[in-house]
Structure 1
Amino acid sequence: MIPFNKPFIIGNELKYIEEAVKSGKISGDGIFTKKCNQFFEEKFGFQKVLLTTSCTDALEMAALLCNIKEGDEVIVPSYTFVSSANAFALRGAKIVFADSYPDNPNIDPKSIEKLITEKTKVIVPVHYAGVACDMEAIISIARKHNIFVVEDAAQAIDSYYTFSDGTEKALGSIGDFGTFSFHETKNIIAGEGGMLSINNPKYNERAEIIREKGTNRSAFFRGEVNKYGWVDLGSSFLPSEIISAFLYGQLEHLEEIQTKRISIWKKYITELKTLEEKGKISLPVIPEYATNNGHMFYIICKSYEERTALIKCMKEKDIHPVFHYLSLNKSEFFLNEEKEIDIPNADHFTDCLLRLPFYFELSVAEQDLVIAQLKEFYNA
């Protein structure tokens, strides 16, 4: 069987978990959490990072830091995972859905502009497949209207955006906050796990308090206060040292992982180009301002029916591609509260986008089988 995804161990993950246990502290903010924080801040230039138990938790922290309240509006792409919207809905925000580009799933800034009202508090660009949204355009809109930008960079570790002046910045370091995932389907994994990047130091102290159940416990352990207590809203967002230890074992091999993943991506694009040239499928688009971090590879089929037939055909050969997000504007939860709205590009990707098997240990022979079955289906 060739699965869609497969978790992997590449280095000292298990050794570091053992070290964490033997250190006598596995509850979080120990040696491996600090090592991971230092790695991310030095490697990607994040002003400050805080590891969390998931990207969802990082988004919920961002919603608290943005002071989202009942009646605020938050603009989110319809084509995204539910956490991008749910984190803000939990605070009482009205979610306003924006459309994707016609040729790629990222949020279209032109769609954003039309949705802004005096109640708009946050824009949430989601860097789909690790490919940058047009952050220069989005930041310009946000600053014009004094709106927060929270980058959902769940899929975008080690991916960058180039501004028109040539400046290159890591995704997650451009908006007010960035959120990342280390779920087992991501480039760098810890089973679960996530991270919040904070790009303005004025939010550092409050972010620590929110992550520690609304207490100033972090300041207490640094000796900055002589006792700690409940000072703000918060929750238990801090991951255990077990997660951090596994994650650090992966981070030590970041370049090796990325080199392999990008080689898998390039093989797919090279081998499947002929199908696109024949008009059978569409392939991923990487804008000039974006880099490719090899997070995933997808194709765009012509119709929902065609995609369904393709999935069935490949599963008969024990190959397991998957479709991806269901447009949130068509979700049961949204339609219980709001009228149905038309978001055509997002709905097209919902019906037609197919993710191919993609994981670190995918062999050349396995990838050749996936490609061969795709060609056989379309050439038939």
Structure 2
Amino acid sequence: MKIPFNKPYLSGNETKYIEDAVKSGKISGNGKYTQQCQAFFEKRYNIKKTLLTTSCTDALEMAAILINIQPGDEVIMPSYTFVSTANAFVLRGAKIIFADSRENHPNIDETKIESLITEKTKAIVPVHYAGISCEMDTIMDLAKKYNLYVIEDAAQAIDSYYTDREGARKPLGTIGDLAAFSFHETKNIISGEGGLLAINNEKFIVRAEIIWEKGTNRSSFFRGEVDKYGWVDIGSSFLPSEIVAAFLWAQLENLEQIQTVRKTHWEKYYNNLYDWAQSNEIELPNVPTYATNNAHMFYLVCKDLEQRTTVLEYLKQNEILAVFHYISLHESPFYREKHCGNTLTQSDKFTDQLLRLPLYYEVDTDEVIKKLKQLWK
């Protein structure tokens, strides 16, 4: 493929730091590079505690354990999201209650949440799609009113912000009780696979570390806080190796450069495709005034499924790989019969009409733009 959908970017020091980790004799996890990465997030974004994980999926699963999800609990989230958002809670026995997306953005429609809350509701899981913030004031107000937890799925949202109604600018992942980030190879900052749990509610800090260490108080032992360690809670092997953390550290060192380049690509797409999109009834990404854009993704919302299919096939013929994104989870074979039946018109729209263009550090946006404009004059 002449222009792939994604191409991982190496900032320069990845292999150097991996070699250093190997030579140190400590590659099993929670070593120097793990601690440097966690400290980076805690300092830069003022997060109370962070824990690297092997994936964003694992971070979400840790969050489900921490809020003590039990069989029969209900968790509200958008249907237009990746399966991991739901799986983490389904694995603990929760019933997923899907909310519709906004009309002008795939994010959860905050005005549709309250009607879905019942006495069984335990948490709300907003997903910051494309790195664009959900309207968090309303979500946090509802959580306070009904005594619910908020877990931000910030898989795509590194280095993106929300401005609340008081004018405070808050990094995504710092607003809810817990948050999960992804460093999958398709994200802005990568480690192949990898994730991070952000802990903003202090009551979860001690237990999170235990769950992270397979249910043991091993970390406390190594800090000299206990004279021996053992099995004290449920948990799993959620922490990544030092090799993964070393790769990630090289990326984090170059966060600002990577973000600057990605934002340049995003803006070039937007500015050069604006008139073309309007003339062909195609919507470009919407960034609300309360949100910033971290250039995780550039997408088109075609006028219908037929138009999207035409664009995808045309680009493929010209060796440009564009892709559609999620099939809404309420329509999935696994959950269709379990869905409570509320109509999710906007989720269905994005399932049929959203198309993602290639966006990575070295992408040739000029070529993609040129080919799109040749499709319809």
Distance 2:199 2:183 in 1: 18
Q: Which amino acid aligns with 1:180?
A: F
Q: Counterparts in 2 of 1:17-166, with a 5 A limit?
A: 17-166=18-167
- Asked if the contact 1:68/1:93 (under 8 Å) is kept, the reply is yes
Look up the match of 1:313: 314
Q: Which amino acid aligns with 2:35?
A: K
Deviation for aligned residue 1:342: 2.3
After the TM superposition, which of the residue ranges 234-243 and 334-343 deviates more from structure 2? 334-343
Where 1:20 maps in the other structure, the secondary structure is helix
Q: Counterparts in 2 of 1:275-314, with a 5 A limit?
A: 275-314=276-315
Establish whether residue 187 from structure 1 lines up as the match of residue 185 from structure 2: no
Q: Which amino acid aligns with 2:301?
A: I
Q: Which amino acid aligns with 2:222?
A: F
- Asked if the contact 1:107/1:126 (under 8 Å) is kept, the reply is yes
- Asked if the contact 2:97/2:339 (under 8 Å) is kept, the reply is no
User: Which of 355, 365, 368 is residue 367 of structure 1 equivalent to?
Assistant: 365
Distance 1:330 1:200 in 2: 34
Distance 2:116 2:185 in 1: 34
Deviation for aligned residue 1:280: 2.5
- Asked if the contact 1:330/1:340 (under 8 Å) is kept, the reply is no
Where 1:361 maps in the other structure, the secondary structure is coil
Where 1:256 maps in the other structure, the secondary structure is helix
Distance 1:222 1:155 in 2: 33
Distance 1:276 1:174 in 2: 34
Deviation for aligned residue 1:337: 3.5
Where 1:106 maps in the other structure, the secondary structure is strand
Distance 1:255 1:13 in 2: 16
Deviation for aligned residue 1:231: 0.9
After the TM superposition, which of the residue ranges 336-345 and 198-207 deviates more from structure 2? 336-345
Q: Which amino acid aligns with 1:105?
A: P
Look up the match of 2:347: 346
Distance 1:337 1:146 in 2: 25
Deviation for aligned residue 1:341: 4.6
Look up the match of 2:179: 178
Deviation for aligned residue 1:110: 1.0
Per-residue deviation, residues 222-246 of structure 1 (Å, max 9, x unmatched): 1111111111111110000001000
Distance 1:155 1:339 in 2: 28
- Asked if the contact 1:65/1:206 (under 8 Å) is kept, the reply is yes
- Asked if the contact 1:11/1:253 (under 8 Å) is kept, the reply is no
Per-residue deviation, residues 106-141 of structure 1 (Å, max 9, x unmatched): 001111111000100010000000000001111001
Per-residue deviation, residues 134-166 of structure 1 (Å, max 9, x unmatched): 011110011100000000000000000001111
Q: Counterparts in 2 of 1:156-235, with a 5 A limit?
A: 156-235=157-236
Distance 1:95 1:336 in 2: 12
Where 1:80 maps in the other structure, the secondary structure is coil
RMSD: 1.0
Aligned residues: 376
Distance 2:367 2:112 in 1: 39
Per the normalisation by structure 1, the TM-score is 0.97
Establish whether residue 7 from structure 1 lines up as the match of residue 8 from structure 2: yes
Q: Which amino acid aligns with 1:153?
A: A
Where 1:305 maps in the other structure, the secondary structure is helix
Look up the match of 2:375: 377
Where 1:7 maps in the other structure, the secondary structure is coil
- Asked if the contact 2:132/2:293 (under 8 Å) is kept, the reply is yes
Q: Which amino acid aligns with 2:167?
A: G
Distance 1:20 1:279 in 2: 52
- The runs of 5 or more residues in structure 1 that have no matched partner are none
Where 2:360 maps in the other structure, the secondary structure is coil
Distance 1:337 1:252 in 2: 44
Q: Which amino acid aligns with 1:368?
A: D
- Asked if the contact 2:52/2:196 (under 8 Å) is kept, the reply is yes
- The runs of 5 or more residues in structure 2 that have no matched partner are none
Where 2:348 maps in the other structure, the secondary structure is helix
Per-residue deviation, residues 276-331 of structure 1 (Å, max 9, x unmatched): 33253100000010000010100000111111111111100100000001000000
